[in-house]
Amino acid sequence: MSRTSFALGTFSAGPSQPFPGIVVAGRVYDTRAAVSTAVSTSQLLADWETCLEKLQSLADAPVGEGRPVGELTVLAPVQPPGQILAAGANYREHVIEITVAHRLGKADATEEELREQAAREMDERAAHGEPYVWVGVPSAISGAYDDVILPSLGENHDWELELGVIIGREAREVGREEALGHVAGYTICNDLTTRSLVPRPEIPMMGTDWMRAKNQPGFYPTGPYLVPARFVPDPQNLDITLRLNGELMQKGNTSDMIFGVAALISYISHRVVLRPGDMVITGSPQGNGSHYGRFLRAGDVMESEITGLGTQRTVCW
C-alpha cells in the first residue's frame, strides 16, 4: 500500500497552546489523535521510530476533518528546539565565488586562475579535509513566516539559505554509511548573519566570532515543516532558491555540497552527541548578499524554497 505523504509541524490558533500536527493536502491534523502522550514535536522525535508509524497511520486515515493550514499560525517545526550545528564553506561554487570576489590567491592571478585554484583546493578538501562546523543557539530560531527585526548591533545583515537536517535518533560516533539512519527529516533554515560582527579585529588570533554574528533573535527562520526522511528520496539533489523582493538571488542544488549530509552527521557525531530534535544546517550555495554588495534592510521580503520542503516568507524590519 502506498504511503500518504505528510509533513510535521507546530501550530497555534489564537492564544491557545501550540500543538503538534501533521499536514496532509493542506490540512492540519492534531498528532495527539495518534500519540496522545506527546504534546510537542520534540516528544514525538524522542521516540521517532515508533511515533513515525503512528503518524503515518494518521496520515493514511485522518481522524476528523482537520483544519486548513491557512487558518493557523505556523511555528518553527521542532518545539522546543534542540541545538544547532552549522556547517560553513560547504558549497563548492560558493567557496569559489568567495575566492574570486575577495581575490584569495596570488595578487596577479586572473579571475579564471583564481577559480581554478579554488576548485583544486575544494577537491583536495573533499578528499582529505574535514567539515567546518560551529554551534548556534535555540533561542535564535523563529518560524518560516515570522518577521525578523534587524538588530542595531552591527551592519551588513545577510542571508544564507540552507538545508536543515533534523535528528531523530541519538548519534554518537556513527559512520557515514549509517548516518542517514539517524535522520528524522528535513526542513529549510535561513542562517542570517551580521557580516560586520564576524571578525574580531582586536583579537585577530581568535579568528571568526560566529556567536555574535549569527545568534540574534530570529536569525534562524526554520520550517515551515519537518518533512520525514522517507519522503525525501535524495537529500543530495534538492534545488535551493531565495528571492529578495521578487528578484532571484540564490539558486543552487545540494549536489554541490563538499561534504554531504551523511558526512556532516558522521563528523559531528564524533565530536558532539547529536540528540533527537537537534538540527544540522548544511551550508549555503552561492548568491549571498556579500556577493552582490546588497544587504538586508527594513521592508525587504525574502521568499525561500527547497524542493519538496515548502516555502518561507520573511519580512525584515
Q: How many domains does the chain have?
A: 2
User: How far lies 205's CA from each of 87, 131, 212, 253, 313, in Å?
Assistant: 21, 21, 17, 34, 38
Same domain, 58 and 138: no
Assess if residue 120 is contained within a domain. no
234 contacts: CB under 8 Å, gap ≥ 6 = none
Assess if residue 119 is contained within a domain. no
pLDDT at 225: 99
Domain that holds residue 35: 7-75
Residue pLDDT, tens place only, 27-76:
999 999 999 999 999 999 999 999 999 999 999 999 899 999 999 999 99
Q: Provide the pairing of β-strand 247-253 with 279-281.
A: unpaired
What is the mean predicted confidence (pLDDT) over 232-253? Answer: 98
Assess if residue 182 is contained within a domain. yes
Residue pLDDT, tens place only, 144-158:
999 999 999 999 999
Same domain, 270 and 161: yes
At 262, which helix (H) or strand (E)? helix 261-269
Residue 85, helix vs strand vs coil: strand
Peptide bond into 224 cis (omega under 30): yes
Assess if residue 109 is contained within a domain. no
Decide if pLDDT at 106 tops 80: no
248: pLDDT confidence band, cut at 50, 70 and 90?
very high
Residue with cell 485522518: 62
Assess if residue 18 is contained within a domain. yes
Torsion of CA 261, 265, 266, 268, to 10 degrees: 130
Assess if residue 96 is contained within a domain. no
Angle at 153 between CA 151 and CA 154, to 5 degrees: 105
Assess if residue 222 is contained within a domain. yes
Decide if pLDDT at 86 tops 80: yes
